[in-house]
Amino acid sequence: LGLLVTKVKEKYVEKIANSLCDGMKSSSEQLRDISSIGLKTVIADIAFQSQLAVLLCKLIVSRLLSVIPTAQDPSVQLEALDILGDILKKYGGLLSDHHSSVQQCLILQMTNSRLAVRKRATIALGQLVICNSSSLFTELMRHLITELNQNRSLSTTRTYVQCVATISRQAGHRIGNYVDTLMPLLFTFSMQQDDDEFKDYCLQALESLVLRCPKEATPYVMKIVEICLQYLKYDPNYNYDSDEDEDMEGEDDIDEDDDDDQGDYSDDDDVSWKVRRAASRCINAVIRSRPELLHEFYRHVSPTLISRFKEREENVKSDIFAAYVSLLRQTRTLATVETRVDAMDEDGIVTTNQSSTLIKDDKSPNSMLQGQIPSIVKALHKLLRDKSIKTRQGCFSVLSEVCLVLYGSLNSHMASVMPGIVYSLSDKSSTSNMKIDTLLFLQCVLTHHEAEVFYPHIDVLVPLVIDKVSDMFYKVVSEALFVLQQLIKIMRPLDGNKPIVTRYDMHARNIYRSTVSRLETADIDQEVKERAIMCMGHLICNMGDILEAELKSCLPILVSRLRNDSTRLCTVKAITTIANSPLNLNLTLILPEGIQLLSSFLRKNSRALKLSSLTALNVLIRKFGLVMNNQLCVDVFSEIPLLINESDLHVSQLALELITTLIQINPNSFMKHRENILREVLLLLKSPLLQGGALNALQGFLCGTIKNSIPNMSPNDVLQMLTHPIYNPESQAQGSLAIHKQAFYSIAKCVAGIITESSDLCSTVVQKLIGDLESASSSVSVRMFTLLALGEIGRILNMSAFQNLKSVITSAFSSLSEEIKSAASFALGNIAAGNLAEYLPFIFKEIESESKKQYLLLHSLKEIIVCQSSHSAAVQSLAPYVSTIWNLLFQSCEKAGGEGIRNMVAECLGKLTILDPENLLPDLHNHLASSSSFVRCTVVNSVKFAISEQHHQVDLKLKQYMGDFLRSLEDADPNVRRVALVTLNSAAHNKPSLIKDMLDVILPSLYDKTIIRKDMIREVEMGPFKHTVDDGLDIRKAAFECMYTLLDTCLDKLDIFQFLNYVEEGLKDHYDIKVALAVKQEFEKQNELKRSALRALTSLMKIPDSDKSLQLSEFLQQINSNPAISSMFETIKNDESGSGSFIHTEFK
């Protein structure tokens, strides 16, 4: 029938529909069922938005509306309502002419004497409110509210409450206008009625309103929490005190207690569990939608949830676990935001394991959770050995989240948790899912606690996990192998600072036997293959010295896995792990074949395989290169040239590091491919993208060729190769640079590295560079290079022997070329960093006397500060000059100068403050009181440069003064206000902990800066024209940028609805056309704004059932009616589709 209606003519489809509708009214139950199924099939198979769909649906709806009120048989009404609901769900938007009559029909059925009919009518109404008009929706809500107020009978009022919940779930924000009316009614009904199902419906309605109308529900949240907490404990037919008495007697008899499990208690008439379930789900909804109330939840909600872990009904208990998991996930989200940028060690490296233990204060959610850990463990201890698998899975999910939030949270409770793990792993009745969940929890525990915590339990855990490696289900085997990896590292850590498990050798052989059995099996799941390979890699790495006999049979298996396309990547990683082992294992058995296979992988397209193979080759050649023959080295060299290019700097870096290692091991093998490699290296050196690790690797390669005396690679030869593109450019337009600007810096750094390697050349090379700089015939490119090279050399070596160097460099400050002036500034600063005693007084004198060169001299001073900040010894050498620099900077700031000079002063002040916060930060704070707006602006700006991404001792001191610095948001000078906003943005992005506690004070001021101020708008006459200038535009831009950052890093501190109000106002703001030349730029901005709005629309279209939104459909019609915007929209949709995003087909 479904296929038939899509093939025959329309008149026959109508005939089919009419016949089926007639069959719905038949006295034959069999015919009614067949007709009902037929109608549902027809509705499901008609194409959406076709003319036939519109015609047919209108016909069927008209017939159904005549059947529903008049049918004598309730089953006919039920089927008709079911079909009506299906039509409204799929084609509701096409039936706008019938919405009014459908709504009236359904409202009448809300008072039907049969409960099932009322429920079907409620479901159909839920589908209708997605697409009906605002007037009909208002009419429906008024009717429901009137009926709820009248409360004529318990049965009908219960139905109306259920209807409110359904409408809320389906209509979402549309019901928001009625929340203030509905909430008091729901509170009253939930507390006064004795009917448990009625309470259940009320709580469901509250849950839906909290999720769908969060803004409107805000004033009622705490009252909802209060009601939910009361009903969470609502169990009038059961006494929990007896269970608590049993717990007090001791837990040695737990196995006997299981025979009298609480879950065996049941009473068919007791439906109070529905109330508790609804309360737990409502609490869950509140927790998920209100992260800003996390403190309150830990204070009031968390203890009650923990106490209810003893719930006797399994389904309710699962919902309570889910609610607590939501609470923990909200805490983890907050902890991630706080520690993502704050939790860094002294070297600026994020300490992942430790970051989640950072507890800011006693009132933070983390600290409150820490205090409740004993209660959680006590409540779950007995449940971890419960007969119910679902209960144990819930316990593990809660404890896993606890571990993820707080590193080491179970350190002192492992003895209470471990019996539950052992029970689930050893229980013969455990399902595969139970085993997997247990192993996943064990992984989580092992990775979020220190190794010493597990030493008492190793002898019990290892045999149990090994047993699971033999399980029949592949997923259990995979997770067991991964747990074994963790246990291996715990039993015998290789860092030398941690103790070793005494019987690790016995466990090592047992682990080996179980793992190698999986490693040798070819016909197993891919995931198991990879986990077995990695587990074996870690086993050999950590315990290979006691498995020497086994290595002879195991290593060839790993080589065979290298030949398999599906396992080669993880095998390469495993071999790298083994080769890196400090146990210095003998891998010569697999070396020739292994090197050949790894070299061949460098030709593959897989980037991950290339990277892993390069790393593996580097490690193997560094450790075993001396026993490799020349041909192997030549083969490796032959694969490298194609890997050196700017398209992938990481691959290039590893390739250059591998070449450097090969040259050290076997210099002669380099000669065969010397030309090919050098061609690619020199090409890469000229790339504008070269920087960081790749540049360091290239410099290391060049120095390596000199150090290992490679033929035709003497220091002079290499220098000539490097400088050839600069001194002998292939083609150069007048006034342009010979190569890209960044390449000058790269070549200069390499030249400095070579001079360092060959110090006897220093004097000659420097004299030549000075001569080229002074020569009038030297091009801009040559002079720029000589300055950068002198700077790089001077930073490493003392240049005091060259007396004329100061005058030569400072004379370059007068050049007409901005590139030369910038290079001279860089050179002076770096040379001074290598000889502070001679050059700093000279720079001080120049700054005081040369106002025209002040910016360049300050830039040199910044280079000195940056260079001297690299390590503690350099900081100490700069210390005697800090006071002089500090005073000089403030003098420069107070002089009449451009904004560029003040920005440079601010950067120097900020970077100096980091070096000595105890003495300099208070003085910086004192300058906030300066009468000069220039000084205040510079001081506030300098704070931005004192806020670094790395953890530093300045942070604690800076937090004390941050409030005063940010009071500049209210400064009388608009430039100071703008800079204060930029500083606030920097703090919010890099160190949100500096400002979080004061956001309550800052946010009103920040929001105020987003408002258009008429007093900052002025008219400027330009001849016969008047031009409007908005002096507050930059301030508003900075304010909105700051709000965007706060949304990412301080979400828990924001009132999101107040926040959105200002965002909404900002969407009405506009850019003025300031000058005629800016027309195209403004046009592009406007187009980008349109594209942004359309991208937002495509995101909205991905929301399930968004195609049923009347407003969204009308908006799409407006877009499609405008050819220009429609074309832009199609392009964006195609881009979205190309990236794999899903958009409802009805919208396409």
For 419-430, the pLDDT digits (tens) are: 999 999 998 888
pLDDT in tens, 888-903: 888 888 775 678 888 8
pLDDT in tens, 13-22: 778 878 888 8
Contact 392, 386 (CB under 8 A): yes
CA distance 485 to 479: 10
- Tell me the whole-structure pTM to 2 decimals: 0.78
CA distance 879 to 905: 18
Q: Which of 586, 617, 584 is nearest to 602 (CA)?
A: 617
pLDDT at 342: 44
HSE at residue 761, side-chain half, CA atoms within 13 A, is 19
pLDDT in tens, 621-638: 998 888 888 888 888 888
For residue 223, CA distances in Å to 186, 235, 308, 391 come to 11, 21, 20, 30
pLDDT in tens, 301-349: 999 999 999 988 999 999 999 999 999 999 887 665 444 434 333 333 3
Other Cβ atoms less than 10 A from the Cβ of 740: the count is: 14
Number of H helices, E strands in the chain: 57, 2
pLDDT at 47: 66
Q: Which of 381, 374, 441, 375 is nearest to 257 (CA)?
A: 381
pLDDT in tens, 1051-1062: 878 888 788 888
Q: For the chain, what is the mean pLDDT? A: 84
pLDDT at 1063: 81
**pLDDT exceeds 80 at position 757:** yes
Instruction: Return the DSSP state at 646.
Output: T
pLDDT at 284: 95
Assigned token pair, 24: 């719905």
Contact 640, 677 (CB under 8 A): yes
HSE at residue 467, side-chain half, CA atoms within 13 A, is 12
pLDDT at 250: 46
End-to-end Cα, the chain, rounded Å: 28
List helix spans (H) across 238-293.
Answer: 241-249, 254-257, 272-289
Q: How confident is the model at residue 1078 (pLDDT cuts 50, 70, 90)?
A: very low
CA distance 659 to 188: 79
3-class SS string, 474-494: HHHHHHHHHHHHHHHHHHCCC
Bridge partners, 1027 (sequence order): 1020
| Segment (H or E) for 1028 | strand 1025-1030
pLDDT at 1084: 60
Q: What is the mean pLDDT of residues 632-649?
A: 90
Contact 530, 481 (CB under 8 A): no
Q: What is the mean pLDDT of residues 736-744?
A: 86
pLDDT in tens, 943-982: 999 887 677 778 888 888 888 899 999 998 999 999 999 9
| Segment (H or E) for 299 | none
**pLDDT exceeds 70 at position 1039:** yes
| Segment (H or E) for 1136 | helix 1123-1138
Residue written as token pair 């070297």: 347
pLDDT in tens, 834-873: 888 888 898 888 888 866 788 899 999 999 998 888 888 8
* Residue 418 φ/ψ, nearest 5 degrees: -60, -40
pLDDT at 256: 41
Assigned token pair, 250: 């001791």
- Alpha carbon 761 to chain centroid, angstroms: 51
**pLDDT exceeds 60 at position 1083:** no
SS3 1019: strand
Q: How confident is the model at residue 576 (pLDDT cuts 50, 70, 90)?
A: very high
pLDDT at 1144: 43
Q: What is the mean pLDDT of residues 238-262?
A: 50
% of the chain residues with pLDDT over 70: 89
